[in-house]
Amino acid sequence: MRIEPYAVAVSDAVLEDLRDRIRRTRWPDPAPGEAWSQGVDLGYLRGLLSYWADGFDWRARERELNRNSHHIAEVDGVPIHYVHRRGTGRVPLVLTHGWPSLFVELLPLVDRLDDRFDLVIPSLPGYAFSERPPHTGVDRAYVAGLWHRLMQGLGYARYGAHGGDFGAGVATHMALSQPDRMIGIHLSTPEMSPYTGTGTPALSAEEQAYAEQGARWERTEAGYKAVQSTRPQTLGYGLNDSPAGLAAWVLDKWRSWSDSGGDLDARFGRDDLLTMLTIWWASGSITSSMRDYYDNRWHATAIGPRDFVRVPTAMAVFANEFVPEGRVPRSWYERLYQIHRWTIFPRGGHFAAIEEPDSLADDITAFFTDIQ
């Protein structure tokens, strides 16, 4: 496996073009009714983009990012970007983000975990500085195979995995495909559903209510998924060409999926949000990232009746993770995982690593300490 050092470096020309496009944004009319009820509020987005063009200091954020050790590894011919922190601990741990997130979401965990773990934080294929293979079928199971080869190429024989969103699915498939390599998996979102078809126990009342809540969420919140899993290329033309379009599409989910109380700036801070958006923009990777939805809908490795994760598994359930606190039934996930640790947190949401990094880091540490 060929590995080269990497530095985050966005050219002046790219930054000036970005600022020029922001200043020339053709804004729509404001939506009638309550702010945010039809999507991202016009006043909020205009203020954020004004700061992006004329106040945000990307170079300062770039220097901060480069305090981490970045690399590009060619894994099965696929250039994969990752951050590597060799800590003082002895447990290798791969951390995987999801959509619409990037590796930067996980960086708050680094200093909180490096006394216990060696940390590898890759960018999913087609996100940020990782390339996506020029074919379909790049689903969670495919990425799990890449991560196994990455970790072994780095010299790790056994390792753990943590993930949220698509990252939780990748960790699940890592455990299903090569369980002997896995110490354990820790998940911060309930990404994968068990097989509940013929031959499985009937759903309990709690499980049935959970399934119905999921169906209601799909009807009201999952329009993005319908588009991204059917026409990611069509959508990508607009998002790749317009900073306003990109910011609106991504931040709509950061607001509704996080425990933000509707206030993105107070929860995350504009500099953190714009760091992520600048990476999306400079890398031109929003379209390739959305292909995750296409591949995981039409080319996915399905969870079947014989699939069960026998690797010790921890599930950290955060309060605003799509369903109300306490409504995620442990029994549902015990159909798929050997649950060793189950923790419900009173705060936090889908982006737990940046929303509640102390709580998440403590839970990861407690889990892997317990199973060692």
Q: With pLDDT > 90 as the criterion, what percentage of the chain qualifies?
A: 91
Q: What is the largest CA-CA distance in the chain?
A: 60
Domain that holds residue 192: 2-24+38-371
Could you give the CA distance from residue 203 to residue 210 in angstroms, rounded to a whole number?
Answer: 10
- Dihedral class, residue 49 (left if φ above 0, else alpha if ψ from -120 to 50, else beta): alpha
Could you give the CA distance from residue 52 to residue 273 in angstroms, rounded to a whole number?
Answer: 10
Q: Please indicate, yes or no, if residue 32 is contained in any of the structural domains.
A: no
| Burial tier of 185 (Cβ tally within 10 Å: 0-12, 13-18, 19+) | buried
Q: Please indicate, yes or no, if residue 30 is contained in any of the structural domains.
A: no
| Per-chain mean pLDDT for the chain | 95
Residues 299-355: tens digit of each pLDDT: 999 999 999 999 999 999 998 876 554 478 999 999 999 999 999 999 999 999 999
Q: Please indicate, yes or no, if residue 85 is contained in any of the structural domains.
A: yes
Closest to 248 (Cα-Cα) out of 32, 36, 14: 36
User: Given the DSSP bridges, would you call strands 309-318 and 182-187 parallel, antiparallel or unpaired?
Assistant: parallel
Residues 22-74: tens digit of each pLDDT: 999 999 999 999 999 999 999 999 999 999 999 999 999 999 999 999 999 99
Amino acid 319: pLDDT: 87
Residue 158: Cβ within 10 Å count:
13
pTM for the model stands at 0.97
* Tokens encoding 331: 């029994």
Q: Please indicate, yes or no, if residue 31 is contained in any of the structural domains.
A: no
Q: Please indicate, yes or no, if residue 33 is contained in any of the structural domains.
A: no
Could you give the CA distance from residue 155 to residue 168 in angstroms, rounded to a whole number?
Answer: 23
Q: Please indicate, yes or no, if residue 146 is contained in any of the structural domains.
A: yes
Residues 134-159: tens digit of each pLDDT: 999 999 999 999 999 999 999 999 99
Element (H or E) spanning 222, and its range? none
Contact (Cβ atoms closer than 8 angstroms) between residue 66 and residue 90: no
Residues 109-121: tens digit of each pLDDT: 999 999 999 999 9
Residue 51: Cβ within 10 Å count:
15
Residues 185-209: tens digit of each pLDDT: 999 998 899 999 999 999 999 999 8
CATH number at residue 269: 3.40.50.1820
Could you give the CA distance from residue 316 to residue 3 in angstroms, rounded to a whole number?
Answer: 33
Q: Please indicate, yes or no, if residue 281 is contained in any of the structural domains.
A: yes
Number of domains the chain is built from? 1
Closest to 83 (Cα-Cα) out of 94, 74, 92: 94
Could you give the CA distance from residue 247 to residue 39 in angstroms, rounded to a whole number?
Answer: 12
Amino acid 326: pLDDT: 46
Residues 69-83: tens digit of each pLDDT: 999 999 999 999 999
Q: Please indicate, yes or no, if residue 168 is contained in any of the structural domains.
A: yes
| Burial tier of 64 (Cβ tally within 10 Å: 0-12, 13-18, 19+) | middle
Closest to 345 (Cα-Cα) out of 332, 328, 369, 365: 328
Could you give the CA distance from residue 347 to residue 355 in angstroms, rounded to a whole number?
Answer: 9
Beta bridge partners of 91: 117
Amino acid 325: pLDDT: 44
